[in-house]
Structure 1
Amino acid sequence: MPACCPKATRLHKPSLIPDFAYDPPTGPLSILHEDDAIIVLYKPAGLLTVPGKLANRQDCLISRLQAARWDALTVHRLDCDTSGVIIFARTKQAQGFLGQEFEQRRAEKTYIARLKGRLETDNGTVDLPIGSDWDYRPRQKVDPEHGRPAVTDWQVLDRAGDETRVRLTPHTGRSHQLRVHMLALGHPILGDQIYAPETRADHGRLMLHAESLSLHHPTTGKRVSFFAPAPF
C-alpha cells in the first residue's frame, strides 16, 4: 500500500501546547520476567520511564525499580502516557547488548491502539519522515525535508462505532512515531493530549499500549518474547 501523502497531513500549529499535570499512579512494581541479566516490567500509563527535567517529575519507573533492584539500567523508554512491556538491563554488558538490539532493529515491538474514526482498509504501512516541531516541543511532525525516516505497519483488529482498534508494528523508533503516523492517516490515537486533545476528556489516557517485545537475550543469545495484554 503506498504511503499517505505528507501534504494531506500537515499539522495546524496550536496556539499553545498545554503542560501536563504529572500525577503518577501508585502501586507495586509489576515484574513480568527477571533473571541475572534483564528485568522486564509492565509500565502503567501516566508514569515516566526516566526522571523529567522539573523537580516534581523525579518519580519514575527506573527510580522505583532501582529502589528494589539497585543494579537496574535503562535500555529504552515508553512515553509517559503509554502502558506496556519495557525491558531493563542488570549489567553494563547486557545494557550494551540490548541497546544494539534496538539500534540494529533486531528488537521487534507491537502496540495496540484505539484510533479516532473508522479505518476502512484492513492493513497498510505509513512511511513518512518525522522531525521535531521546534516551535511547539514536545510535538513532532511529518517533515519530508529535515525529518528522519520512520516506518510503521498497521493492522485493523476491530471497528466499533466511530473508532478503530489496531495493532501497530514500528520498524523505526522515532519520538512520538506511532502518534504522528496515525495522525497522518487522519485517525489520531484517542486520548492523546498533544495530537487529539479534544478526545482526552472522554478517555482519560492515551489509548496506546506496548503489547509485546521480542529480542535476543544478552546472556544466551536466544530470542525471547514478552507479552502484556492491553488494559483497554
Structure 2
Amino acid sequence: MNQFELTIEEHQKNDRIDKVLSSFNPEWSRTQVQVWIKDGNVTVNGNQVKSNYKCSTGDVIQVTIPEPELLDVVPEEMNLDIYYEDADVLVVNKPKGMVVHPAPGHLSGTLVNGLMAHCKDLSGINGVLRPGIVHRIDKDTSGLLMVAKNDFAHESLVNQLVAKTVTRKYKAIVHGVIPHDHGTIDAPIGRDKRDRQSMAVTDENSKEAITHFNVLERFKDYSFIECQLETGRTHQIRVHMKYIGYPLVGDPKYGPKKTLEIGGQALHAGLLGFVHPRTSEYIEFEAPLPTDFEDLLDKLKR
C-alpha cells in the first residue's frame, strides 16, 4: 500500500476534504477520493471523516491507497515509437486510436500492454492497470507521453505536473476563424451534469483549468492553432475550445455533427518538456504531426 500525508494550509481551510485531496494529485479523481474516504482509507488527525468534512488549518491528513484489484494485464509486443529512454523515464509517441491504459473489460491493445513487453521496470504507484502512467491523452489524440520506470521518478513527475512546470504543447485544427492571434482560457472544468460521460465548463464540482493558445494559420472556415496546457483536466483543450466557440475538427463528443473526417479530434500532443528526476536537467521532445493531420492541413491550404 502507498501512503501519503499532507498538512492543510491557510488557503485550504473550510474546503471539503474530497476537494482538497482531488486537487493534491491530478491522478486522483474526486469520485475515487470519496471511495477511499468511505472505506476508511483517509484520516484527519488520526480520525476517520466523511467526504463533506471541512478542513481546518493545520489538519494532518493521511491517505492510504489500497492495493489495486489484481487483474491479468498481459504484455504485448508492439512497435512503440520511443523518443527517449533511460533507467528512470521513457517518452513515447502514442498513435491515434490507442488507449493509454487497460480498464476492466478492456485489457489488451493498450499502451500499457506494449510498455510491459518493452520494459520490465515500471513504477507501481498507479497500480497494476496503470504501471508507469503519470498522465494521459485521449484515445484519438496522438502525441508524446512521459512514463515513469520507478516510484522515485513517478513522484517527481507528478509533483512537476502539480506545480505546473511541465511543458505540454498541442497542435489542433478548429472550426471557425479565430480573429485574435493568441489568448488564454481560464474556466473551471467538471463533469457535465446533463451527461456524466462528458466534461464541461461549470462551477459545480469543478477544478481549475487554464489553456493558452496561439493561431498558427487561418483558412476559410477553420484555424490551425497551438495550445499550451497550464493544467491537465480531462478533455481540457476539447472542452475549452468548444466553450469559446471554436470546437475541434473531427471531435465526436464536443464538436459539431458536420465536420471534417479525420477519425477523431484533430489534436496532437507535439511537444513535451520536463526536469529529469535524477539529473535535474530540463529535457524537451517534439513529435511531428501524424500523416492524416498533415494531409488535412494540405487540403485546407489548397
Structure 1 runs of 4+ off > 6 angstroms? none
Amino acid aligned to 1:216: V
SS at structure 2 position matched to 1:157: strand
SS at structure 1 position matched to 2:93: strand
Report the Cα distance in structure 1 between the residues aligned to 2:256 and 2:90, rounded to whole angstroms: 34
Tell me what 1:109 maps to: 168
Task: Return the offset for 1:105.
Answer: 1.1
Amino acid aligned to 1:88: V
Percent of aligned positions that are identical: 35
Report the Cα distance in structure 1 between the residues aligned to 2:120 and 2:258, rounded to whole angstroms: 39
Tell me what 1:89 maps to: 148
When the two structures are superposed, what TM-score results if normalisation uses the length of structure 1?
0.84
Amino acid aligned to 1:226: F
Asked whether the 8 Å contact 1:37–1:91 carries over to 2, the reply is: yes
| Structure 2 counterparts to residues 111-130 of structure 1, below 5 A | 111-130=170-189
Tell me what 2:296 maps to: none
Task: Return the offset for 1:134.
Answer: 4.1
When the two structures are superposed, what TM-score results if normalisation uses the length of structure 2?
0.65
Q: How many residues align?
A: 206
Pick one of 62, 71, 80 that aligns with 1:29: 80
Task: Return the offset for 1:58.
Answer: 3.4
Amino acid aligned to 2:162: E
Which structure's CA Rg is the greater one?
A: 2
User: Does the alignment pair 1:65 with 2:124?
Assistant: no
Tell me what 1:183 maps to: 242
Asked whether the 8 Å contact 2:247–2:256 carries over to 1, the reply is: no
| Structure 2 counterparts to residues 1-232 of structure 1, below 5 A | 28-53=79-104, 55-56=105-106, 58-72=108-122, 73-196=132-255, 198-199=257-258, 202-231=261-290, 232=293
Asked whether the 8 Å contact 1:192–1:199 carries over to 2, the reply is: no
Point out where structure 1 has 5 or more consecutive residues left out of the alignment.
1-25
Task: Return the offset for 1:100.
Answer: 0.8
Report the Cα distance in structure 2 between the residues aligned to 1:88 and 1:58, rounded to whole angstroms: 18
Asked whether the 8 Å contact 1:131–1:148 carries over to 2, the reply is: yes
> Relative CO higher for 1 or 2, CA cutoff 8 Å, sep ≥ 6?
1
Task: Return the offset for 1:101.
Answer: 1.1
SS at structure 1 position matched to 2:208: coil
Report the Cα distance in structure 2 between the residues aligned to 1:41 and 1:29, rounded to whole angstroms: 7
Report the Cα distance in structure 1 between the residues aligned to 2:94 and 2:258, rounded to whole angstroms: 23
